[in-house]
Amino acid sequence: MGDTTLKKIIQTIGAAALVAAASGLTVPGFAVAQSPPPFDITTYDPAPGPSPWGPGDTSGASNTQTPAKVYEALLRISTGRSFRLAHDVELGMPMFPGASPPFALEVLPPMQLMQQMTIAEQLAYAFPVSQLGTQVDALNHFGHLPDAGASFDEAVFYNQVTGAELLAGVGPGDAYARLGVEQLKPYFTRGILLDVARHANGGHALAAGQEVTATMLMHTLAAQGLNLGDIRTGDVVVIRTGHGEKWHLGTGGVDADGVFHPGYYLDVVPGIGPTFAAPGIGLEVAVLLTGRGVAAVGADAPFVEVQPNFVIPDGVPFPVHNHLLAKSGVPLIESMALDEAADFAADRAAQIAPLPPTLRRLLNPYVFAFSMDPIPMVGASGSTVAPKAIF
């Protein structure tokens, strides 16, 4: 490589990135595939414990969003390219089956203000706005019952908040009293994209019901020039399964002629038949990621968690939701749009492949600046979001 070429490369890196290299924010060297740490579901306790941020904490892992994480994120920007990681909210989009009528906007009559015109619209139907499109789950979305016969009041949510406390003082028209999505702090941090479909599944989308295992995660990290230690406290990890290619199919289900059509939420699983079905992580990976101190976990699939999930503790059919939300205070970001960003990252990785190892790690496009802020609906169990990746 000539001196002129190297000079141009250094100029494109930018001063901030060079500071990162000099201050030890990156670790030179090649990433090698690691073995995942052992996980034994028979000894796993699904009951939520106290928050590491204290008995009054209601923000969970979003507490990691500090000024230091903002600076770390800024140091990951080398091209200035940004991508919205959300699907359009529009008529005909996939909706959680049976939860609501289709999304629609009702156009209001235009209003003339002298020599100006203004337009507006309103939501035409009642539907769960907290669980619409690309969305983040708040910490009150899932709780754990001490036994199957327990009541909602006895349910234990994040930081051992009870169902009774969620309802305390709540009247008609009120939202839940604790752990609402407005309690999540704004996110501006490092994002890490794990393109499992590209690097651990032969370049193909994972099948409905296929689990992203810890071995697949480790293989993906290595293929992307990373290792488990590159996932730091306060990072957001987003996982591409390839399921986003089914978004255009709609929800899925039985049509007017009685014929079942697979879609984004519903598909046929061998041995089960039509059901909720999508790829995603299992409890093993959820435990692995919370062990790294992540601030949120997202995926291009409707549940983040694999569905159906066959590896579950007794009485906990959604163990990933329980572990991330109720036990760890880590929000889930569901139904992300990751294909465009993943293609850019892959192209960028190929572009910088001739560089020395230290520069490749410094410019690794699978680690980028990530931003997200939920709509602060007080007490809501989630929010539509439009996260952004900045490379």
**304-325 residue pLDDT tens:** 999 999 999 999 999 999 999 9
Domain boundaries, the chain: 3-390
Question: What average pLDDT score do residues 102-130 get?
Answer: 74
Phi, psi of 206 (to 5 degrees): -70, 150
pLDDT given for residue 101 in this prediction:
66
In this predicted structure, the answer to whether residue 276 has a pLDDT above a threshold of 60 is yes
Q: How confident is the model at residue 18 (pLDDT cuts 50, 70, 90)?
A: very low
In terms of phi and psi (left: phi > 0; alpha: psi -120 to 50; beta: otherwise), the region of 98 is left
In this model, does residue 298 exceed pLDDT 90?
Answer: yes
pLDDT band at 37 (very low <50, low <70, confident <90, very high): confident
The two beta strands, 187-195 and 211-212, are unpaired
Q: Is 153 exposed, middle or buried (0-12, 13-18, 19+ CB in 10 A)?
A: exposed
- Choice between 55 and 131, residue whose per-residue pLDDT is larger: 55
CATH class of 3-390: alpha beta
pLDDT, tens digit (0-9, with 9 covering 90-100), for 85-104? 999 988 888 988 876 666 77
SS3 74: helix
Contacts of 265 (CB under 8 A, 6+ apart): 94, 95, 96, 97, 251, 252, 276, 277, 278, 302
Element (H, E) at 287: helix 283-291
Pick from 111-120, 216-225, 250-259, 342-351: least confident: 111-120
pLDDT over 50 at 225, yes or no: yes
Q: Which of 11-15, 73-77, 81-85, 287-291 has the lowest mean pLDDT?
A: 11-15
Say whether pTM exceeds 0.75: yes
Rounded Cα gap, residues 62 and 28, in angstroms: 29
- The reported pLDDT for the residue numbered 99 is 63
Tokens 């600076």 -> residue: 71
Average pLDDT, stretch 123-140?
79
pLDDT > 90 in the chain, percent: 72
Distance (Å, whole) CA 105 – CA 123? 5
First to last CA, the chain: 25
